[in-house]
Structure 1
Amino acid sequence: MHVAGRIEDYALIGDMQTAALVCRDGTVDWLCLPRFDSHAIFAGLLGTEEHGFWRLGPAHADDAEPPAATRRHYRGDSLILESEWDTPRGTVRVTDFMPPREGAPQLIRIVEGVSGRVPMRSTLRMRFSYGRVVPWVHRHEGRTIAVAGPDSVWFDTTADTYGEELTTYSDFTVAPGDRVAFTISWEPSHKQPPALPEPEQSLEATEDFWREWVEHCTYHGPYREAVIRSLITLKALTYAPTGGIVAAPTTSLPEDIGGVRNWDYRYTWLRDAAITLSSLLRTGYREEARVWREWLLRAVAGDP
């Protein structure tokens, strides 16, 4: 059984309109769709597994704690997360990312066999509205869809899936060179289904996006690798359609254990955004500053 980790156990991925947090054991415990300030479909970070999560990693006994990844890192200068497990049966890699949005928002997870033959399990428990709503999950033209009111989430994979206890499972084994992709896509429930995902093409496009963005960085001083990683994180907190910059992708986490300060940080706080802008401007990212200034002027326009 997975228990939500410490905040430092989570890695951030995102598409500059929302973000997900991935724990060391391969569990996505936080994701709001379609925007930073939308309701969460995975809110295990704030509660328990009953509030939604998506675990993808080596199979383990149901009563055992999922194993943490042996190592993990971001691929180069990108927001593509790679986690690797060394198991008695071999080594497996999971690549997690959210492609910069052109259509429906997507979270893509690609499992790759590195050595041996490793049994894997995907456990997907979608709970809408911060865990309050259990969606209607069914099959539609070969795809799995979860619907609740105005929201729908589509789940696509080539692996076999089955439902049990209001949860969607996939059990499969990967050998060297095997690649098995899983994608969830959000769409308003009254609209047509989102396009079928193309995980490999999306991975390439996401890597190209971040590489090109990092090339604009003008900083070449000490600790450049850490500076680049910080800039990528700040870019991930920028809401692309408007230029607003959220203080953090989460809400309701107390600043200290048992404390009462548990603000919603999914807003543009002027102080935080100003510090972010200072960092971006000093490293060559003037466009982000320009669009944030335009956002600010719109936000304060008219009678307050």
Structure 2
Amino acid sequence: MSREARVAAETASCRPSRANAPRYLPIAEHGLIGDLRSSALVGTDGTIDWYCCTRFDAPSVFASILDADRGGSFALAPDVPVRTKQFYFPDTNILITRFYADDGVGEVQDFMPVVDDSREADRHRLIRRVLCVRGSLPFTARVAPRFDYGRRDHSVSTRCGQTLFDSPDLSLALTSTVPVEIDGRDACCSFKLVEGETAVFALDRIGGAVQPRPCAQTEAEDLFDATVRYWRGWLSRSRYRGRWREMVHRSALTLKLLTYAPTGAIVAAPTTSLPEQIGGERNWDYRYVWVRDAAFCIYALLRLGFTDEAEAFVSFLSEKAAAPGGTDGSGGTGGTDGTSGRLQIMYGIDGRRDLPEEELTHLEGHEGSAPVRIGNDAVGQLQLDIYGALIDCLYLYDKWGQPLSSAHWDTVVDLVDWVCENWDQPDEGVWETRGGRKKFLYSQLMCWVAIERAMRIARGRGLPADMARWAHARDTIYRRIMDRGWSARRNAFVQHEGEDVLDAAVLMMPLAKFISPTDPKWLSTLDALGEDLVSDSLVYRYDPQASPDGLRGEEGTFSICSFWYVEALARAGRLDEARLAFEKMLTYANHVGLYAEEIGRTGEQTGNFPQAFTHLALISAAFNLDRALG
């Protein structure tokens, strides 16, 4: 057994049944399942606490992770005191929750069938197989949907042995191999299994051409096998053979789960409003496509050899996001011609631009952490760094995937021309602060990356470009950063012009090849970051007290920054420190290898979960640390 597998086994959750537990499971006490269109969180107690049907950003059906009373859930567990452990079926996204009781051992296998391009993709089937593997166990199940984040009423009826939940906008059919009764707005049942026996529950979206269909044990087994084949077939394309294969592959599987297959979009996280601080207001909806996050995801997947995902994402941006009509964040259109070259920082998974933010005041939030938000007003922000992330992704796609088409190159030219014209604007920065625009070093750094990578593509392919203009802008940005981004007092590169505040985002400077990883200025910056923002290998983004971001409360260490720190140490030749910091970060993964956005003061995971940013950074850090260690 690998070291990572032993860590996962040793830290697997052991928790009593829900009846004796607090109202909320910790965020990290969940695993993720999905079908490349939507996803669900399954708690270590066997309860599905979060599920949006039929897509990541659809209104929730189960949201008890945001309100234990009004959110809705699908509970399924033994009706006796138990200990639980949760793990993934090897090399898949099929989740198994195992229950240990005095009289037996049972498990629930949760998955959403993925069978390539199934003609029934609109069914959105969620299957729960219950098995008794030793002795005997009594089980109870309660299916309590609360449609549209608990805002829509629904009716319940029985037809042809199925339980139908009907709301104005969505209908679900529950089929079961054990008898189910209606209890108010819910469906429930109690049953007992002895060793070798199995029960199956299937929850299907129905309507239109998708009609109710039973799910017998044989069909559930066939779908289980087909889904195993899909995930293992996909993962077999990975080229990674390094030291941390299990954790890297789990991260890759997670990134694939966050992909919306119909468009190739990649969401930043499958959840909304999971708090960065319990009781705080830093609660955001991440179920959208951040250009930055998705581009970095593609970088990580390309490193592992997954070129199809890169091709799909490039097509998504070309067809959806790069269309005219963006704004510059201040009400007007951007770009030198008023339309071309301007990107929003995020889009809906179908490419839509309008993502109005709304507070759901009827939901109390995870452990009382209000407000619960849907939509995201940050869509109107100006964040100049996205251009560097995107064009670097396109550069790597051209290098490792497929050569950029002429249409793609035309889009790149528009983007770079816009960057040459606008790189000096103040913006909200990579961390989406709501405290006013500033001239952030990271934003300027990534504008430099955008121009420099485009020039590499043009030179390598002989493509047409205004190289003189691009080179002038690139060199001007470089000199600006080296002059105004450097603080002689701090002996370090700083967050933005005019202040001496540090920011972990500058860790990207050597990673983006802007500065040598052994340059004296960079080494002193790395030391300064280590003194101010690093806590036993965990890295804070910045100090909100020194650099107010317009929000109340505190936040934990930001996990992507911790992995950036690993890479920066490795590139600086500090390999022992880098490896120790990386190994420490692995211990902060949850019991099935997943990471939320942040890590709190006592090691708890906080923020939206799981987060693509963290998993892509883990892949990159592992890849580059492996290479440095030889």
Name the TM-score class by shorter chain. over 0.9
* Correspondence 1:27 to 2:47: yes
Q: Which residue of 1 aligns with 2:182?
A: 163
Q: Which residue of 1 aligns with 2:87?
A: 73
**d(CA) in 1 for partners of 2:212 and 2:36?**
19
Amino acid at match of 2:89: R
Amino acid at match of 1:85: F
Q: Equivalent residue of 1:248, what SS?
A: coil
* Correspondence 1:137 to 2:163: no
Amino acid at match of 2:169: P
**d(CA) in 2 for partners of 1:223 and 1:86?**
30
**d(CA) in 1 for partners of 2:106 and 2:69?**
24
How is 1:14-93 mapped onto 2 (pairs within 5 angstroms)? Answer: 14-60=34-80, 67=82, 69=84, 71-93=85-107
Kindly state the Cα deviation for residue 133 of structure 1 after the two structures are TM-superposed: 2.3
Kindly state the Cα deviation for residue 277 of structure 1 after the two structures are TM-superposed: 0.9
**d(CA) in 2 for partners of 1:82 and 1:49?**
25
Q: Which residue of 1 aligns with 2:626?
A: none
Q: Which residue of 2 aligns with 1:120?
A: 139
Amino acid at match of 1:91: V
Q: Deviations over 1:218-247 (max 9, x none)?
A: 000111011000000000000001000000
**d(CA) in 1 for partners of 2:162 and 2:92?**
30
Greater C-alpha radius of gyration: 2
TM-score (norm 1): 0.94
Q: 1:68 to 1:133 in 2, by over 3 A?
A: farther
Q: Equivalent residue of 2:149, what SS?
A: helix
**d(CA) in 2 for partners of 1:260 and 1:117?**
46
Amino acid at match of 1:201: D
Q: Equivalent residue of 1:8, what SS?
A: coil
Q: Deviations over 1:93-143 (max 9, x none)?
A: 110001116310011000111111100111110110111223101012221
Q: Equivalent residue of 1:7, what SS?
A: coil
Q: Which residue of 2 aligns with 1:257?
A: 278
* Correspondence 1:195 to 2:213: yes
CA contact (8 A) 1:11 1:22 kept: yes
Q: Which residue of 1 aligns with 2:261?
A: 240
Identical counterparts, % of pairs: 38
Tell me the number of residue pairs that the alignment of Structure 1 and Structure 2 aligns: 297
Kindly state the Cα deviation for residue 50 of structure 1 after the two structures are TM-superposed: 2.9
**d(CA) in 2 for partners of 1:242 and 1:233?**
18
CA contact (8 A) 2:83 2:101 kept: no
Of residues 129, 143, 150, the one that matches 1:110 is 129
Q: Which residue of 2 aligns with 1:228?
A: 249
Instruction: Tell me which of the two structures has the higher relative contact order, counting C-alpha pairs closer than 8 angstroms and 6 or more residues apart.
Output: 1
Amino acid at match of 1:8: A
Q: Equivalent residue of 2:259, what SS?
A: coil
CA contact (8 A) 2:157 2:164 kept: yes
Amino acid at match of 1:303: G
Q: Equivalent residue of 1:49, what SS?
A: coil
**d(CA) in 2 for partners of 1:125 and 1:234?**
29
Q: Deviations over 1:9-45 (max 9, x none)?
A: 0100001100000011000010000000100000101
Q: Equivalent residue of 1:50, what SS?
A: coil
Of residues 264, 269, 284, the one that matches 2:290 is 269
**d(CA) in 1 for partners of 2:181 and 2:44?**
25
Which stretch of structure 1 is more off in the superposition, 157-166 or 8-17?
157-166
Kindly state the Cα deviation for residue 195 of structure 1 after the two structures are TM-superposed: 3.3
Q: Which residue of 1 aligns with 2:323?
A: 301
Q: Which residue of 1 aligns with 2:434?
A: none
Kindly state the Cα deviation for residue 150 of structure 1 after the two structures are TM-superposed: 2.4
**d(CA) in 2 for partners of 1:246 and 1:175?**
41
Kindly state the Cα deviation for residue 261 of structure 1 after the two structures are TM-superposed: 2.2
Q: Equivalent residue of 1:109, what SS?
A: strand
**d(CA) in 1 for partners of 2:299 and 2:132?**
43
**d(CA) in 2 for partners of 1:270 and 1:194?**
38
CA contact (8 A) 2:32 2:40 kept: yes
CA contact (8 A) 2:82 2:101 kept: no
Amino acid at match of 1:159: V
**d(CA) in 1 for partners of 2:160 and 2:99?**
34
**d(CA) in 1 for partners of 2:214 and 2:184?**
27
Of residues 84, 88, 109, the one that matches 1:95 is 109
Richer in helix (by share): 2
Which stretch of structure 1 is more off in the superposition, 82-91 or 1-10?
1-10
**d(CA) in 2 for partners of 1:79 and 1:192?**
25
CA contact (8 A) 2:140 2:191 kept: yes
CA contact (8 A) 1:4 1:29 kept: no
Which stretch of structure 1 is more off in the superposition, 26-35 or 131-140?
131-140
RMSD (Å), alpha carbons: 1.5
CA contact (8 A) 2:62 2:72 kept: yes
CA contact (8 A) 2:156 2:186 kept: no
Q: Which residue of 1 aligns with 2:228?
A: 207
CA contact (8 A) 2:82 2:100 kept: no
Kindly state the Cα deviation for residue 303 of structure 1 after the two structures are TM-superposed: 3.0
Amino acid at match of 1:300: A
Amino acid at match of 1:147: D
Richer in strand (by share): 1
Amino acid at match of 1:111: V
CA contact (8 A) 2:25 2:43 kept: yes
Q: Which residue of 1 aligns with 2:170?
A: 151
Which stretch of structure 1 is more off in the superposition, 226-235 or 161-170?
161-170
**d(CA) in 1 for partners of 2:276 and 2:108?**
31
Q: Equivalent residue of 1:294, what SS?
A: helix
Q: Which residue of 1 aligns with 2:192?
A: 173
Kindly state the Cα deviation for residue 191 of structure 1 after the two structures are TM-superposed: 5.0
Q: Which residue of 2 aligns with 1:63?
A: none
